[in-house]
Amino acid sequence: MTSTIEIEELIKAMISKETGTRLSDISSQSTFHQLGLDSVNSLFLLGDLEETLNLDIDPLSLYDNPTIASFSAYINELQNDRT
């Protein structure tokens, strides 16, 4: 199981790689929109997270949890529900 903080760091690293944004410029309170993720980038992010964490993630969850922190908490809940 991965903690919320570890999930945040994973998401930040994935966004940094995808957008070219420096990791130090990505805050947990940043929204995906502020970071320049469009619908296509978001789907790639979801796919990578699903593969890395072995989870099925509802694509609409990105819109329901628009910050890295809130989305990470959601992912953590999914992991806890699975166990």
Enumerate domains of the chain plus CATH numbers.
Answer: 4-82 (1.10.1200.10)
Q: Which of 43, 51, 56, 47 has its CA nearest to residue 82?
A: 56
Query: What is the residue-level pLDDT of the chain in tens, covering all 83 positions?
Result: 589 999 999 999 999 998 899 999 999 999 999 998 988 889 999 999 999 999 999 999 999 999 999 999 999 999 988 76
Write out the two tokens for 53: 């964490």
DSSP 19-75: H---GGG--TT-BTTTTT--HHHHHHHHHHHHHHHT----TTHHHHS-BHHHHHHHH
Overall pTM > 0.85 = yes
